[in-house]
């Protein structure tokens, strides 16, 4: 505080950071709070000094000195999450804060500025339609037709969302049209969908060693069923983020607690393969591509995706990197199939490893990949998308999915 008693903008900045760190928006996000503290301390002590991705990775997230930002996207992902949380905070509980903290895209340097008048910071209730989608190649005339359908359908989906949200002033039309068409079945209903994540049955102790439960030798009373993979965790995060863009919620439950009553009455999103998400065994699932463990040959015991009816140029089996070797590639299934109740739908996101599952969730939450997928599917004039099953090929580097492409696709008869 200055000698006159007037609080300067610079003196208000630490308080702005403290409000963020203690906010409901960042509650429970320990890694984001840690990143925010680091960036804020640097910005306050070294204004105008740029931070490098390597510096953040090693000093904030404990990455090894050989960290390569070209192979590991950790910092970019966490920075993107922080930007989203900052925007969420200032659109809700921080709407009246006198100082706004931002992390501009393309930089890791926080900025501080005085907040404009509240009315200037609210989201306009009616914004213009997002720009038309463009395919990577415009040579296919059907692409233009399909994209036109997507844009028309997205308007209808937005109208449904505004009704189901009780006239919210926030505008779902800010969500790209491709994402609106893909997710319309799950965001238009009154009830939030269930996200069911896999949690394998383990025995042992985490501080000593854990292994998979073996029915032939282990007591069921010794099962620990509250563990899941890092890919499933990040998949749930990505799904929560995409539904937040629609201003909708998701309900999350681990697979061992899921019941058939849940399946009868809700839209479902399964995260993880039937190898661990055992509830998939008793529910509508994929039929063109299935999970099986190899029973012979060099890959005996390894989980594979079976191509039930291979088309020209497609393999019969899709295997991840061999067990005992560094994981450099994986395969995953993305399947949209009717539920047990015809009024509901099931989306399956499952890799042969946890990183494949992560990549499958990221694939359906990104505008560019969903856009390319929709160009391969049949879309009706009213925007209804055909059910389908797809196999994704995932390239992995240092435990991070770095590239995902469509390896096989089947549209299903309705």
- pLDDT, tens digit (0-9, with 9 covering 90-100), for 317-373: 999 999 889 999 999 999 999 888 888 899 999 999 999 999 999 999 999 999 999
State pLDDT tens for residues 210-269. 777 777 888 878 777 777 888 999 999 999 999 999 999 999 988 878 777 777 788 999
Using DSSP's 3-state secondary structure scheme, residue 69 falls into coil
**Amino acid 171: pLDDT:** 54
Residue 274: count other Cβ atoms within 10 Å of its Cβ: 23
Q: What are phi and psi of 114, to 5 degrees?
A: -65, 140
Spatial contact of 265 and 344, defined as CB atoms under 8 Å apart: yes
Nearest to 260 by CA among 236, 287, 278: 278
Beta-strand relationship, 345-351 and 268-271? parallel
Count of residues making up the chain: 414
**How much of the chain is helix, strand and coil, in % rounded to 5?**
35, 20, 45
Q: How many CA atoms lie within 13 A of 102 on its CB side?
A: 12
End-to-end CA distance of the chain: 68
CA distance 15 to 412: 56
- Helical packing angle, 354-365 and 367-375, nearest 10°: 80
Residues of the chain with pLDDT under 70: 1-10, 116-173, 275-284, 414
Domain boundaries, the chain: 9-121, 146-411
* Tokens representing residue 13 in the block: 């900045």
Looking at the DSSP assignment, which residues form a beta bridge with residue 338?
345
The string of DSSP codes covering 210-244 is: EEE--TTTS-GGG-B-----HHHHHHHHHHHHHHH
CA distance 288 to 310: 9
Nearest to 96 by CA among 118, 119, 124, 123: 118
- Helical packing angle, 230-245 and 177-187, nearest 10°: 100
CA distance 108 to 130: 28
Nearest to 371 by CA among 206, 214, 175, 216: 175
Q: What are phi and psi of 314, to 5 degrees?
A: -100, 140
Spatial contact of 302 and 294, defined as CB atoms under 8 Å apart: yes
CA distance 181 to 198: 27
Spatial contact of 361 and 370, defined as CB atoms under 8 Å apart: no
CA distance 245 to 260: 29
Query: Number of helices and strands (H, E) in the chain?
Result: 11, 14
Looking at the DSSP assignment, which residues form a beta bridge with residue 318?
305
**Amino acid 76: pLDDT:** 87
User: Residue written as tokens 């998701």?
Assistant: 250
Give the global pTM: 0.59
**Amino acid 242: pLDDT:** 93
Spatial contact of 375 and 367, defined as CB atoms under 8 Å apart: no
User: Residue written as tokens 């399964």?
Assistant: 270
Beta-strand relationship, 400-411 and 388-397? antiparallel
Nearest to 36 by CA among 16, 21, 55: 21
Nearest to 391 by CA among 328, 302, 330: 330
**Amino acid 278: pLDDT:** 59
Nearest to 147 by CA among 131, 128, 160: 131
**Amino acid 172: pLDDT:** 54
**Amino acid 236: pLDDT:** 94
Residue 281 parent element (H or E)? none
CA distance 7 to 174: 37
CA distance 363 to 398: 19
CA distance 254 to 271: 10
């Amino acid at each position: 505080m200055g000698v006159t008693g007037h609080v300067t903008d610079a003196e208000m900045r630490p308080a702005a950071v403290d409000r963020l760190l203690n906010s409901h928006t960042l509650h429970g996000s320990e890694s984001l709070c840690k990143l925010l503290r680091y960036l804020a301390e640097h910005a306050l002590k070294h204004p105008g000094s740029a931070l490098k991705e390597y510096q953040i990775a090693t000093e904030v997230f404990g990455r090894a000195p050989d960290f390569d930002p070209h192979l590991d996207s950790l910092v970019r992902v966490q920075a993107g999450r922080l930007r989203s949380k900052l925007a969420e905070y200032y659109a809700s509980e921080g709407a009246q804060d006198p100082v706004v903290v931002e992390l501009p895209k393309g930089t890791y340097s926080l900025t501080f500025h005085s907040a404009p008048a509240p009315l200037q910071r609210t989201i306009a209730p009616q914004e213009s339609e997002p720009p038309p989608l463009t395919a990577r190649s415009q040579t296919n005339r059907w692409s233009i037709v399909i994209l036109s359908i997507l844009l028309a359908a997205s308007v209808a989906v937005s109208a449904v969302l505004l009704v189901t949200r009780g006239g919210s002033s926030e505008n779902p039309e800010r969500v790209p049209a491709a994402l609106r068409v893909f997710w319309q079945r799950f965001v238009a209903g009154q009830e939030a969908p269930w996200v069911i994540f896999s949690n394998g049955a383990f025995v042992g102790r985490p501080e000593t060693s854990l292994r998979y439960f073996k029915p032939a030798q282990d007591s069921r009373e010794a099962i620990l069923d509250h563990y899941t993979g890092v890919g499933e965790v990040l998949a749930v995060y990505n799904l929560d983020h995409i539904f937040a863009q629609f201003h909708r919620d998701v309900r999350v439950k681990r697979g061992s607690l899921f019941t058939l009553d849940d399946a009868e009455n809700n839209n479902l999103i399964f995260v993880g393969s039937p190898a661990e998400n055992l509830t998939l065994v008793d529910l509508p699932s994929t039929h063109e591509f299935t999970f099986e463990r190899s029973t012979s040959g060099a890959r005996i015991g390894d989980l594979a995706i079976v191509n039930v009816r291979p088309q020209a140029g497609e393999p019969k089996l899709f295997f991840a990197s061999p067990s005992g070797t560094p994981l450099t590639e994986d395969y995953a299934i993305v399947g949209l199939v009717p539920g047990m109740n015809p009024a509901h739908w099931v989306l399956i996101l499952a890799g042969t490893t946890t990183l494949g599952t992560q990549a499958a969730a990221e694939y359906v939450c990104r505008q560019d990949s969903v856009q390319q997928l929709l160009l391969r599917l049949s879309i009706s004039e009213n925007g209804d998308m055909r059910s389908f099953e797809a196999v994704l090929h995932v390239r992995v580097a240092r435990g991070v999915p770095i590239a995902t492409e469509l390896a096989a696709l089947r549209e299903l008869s309705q």
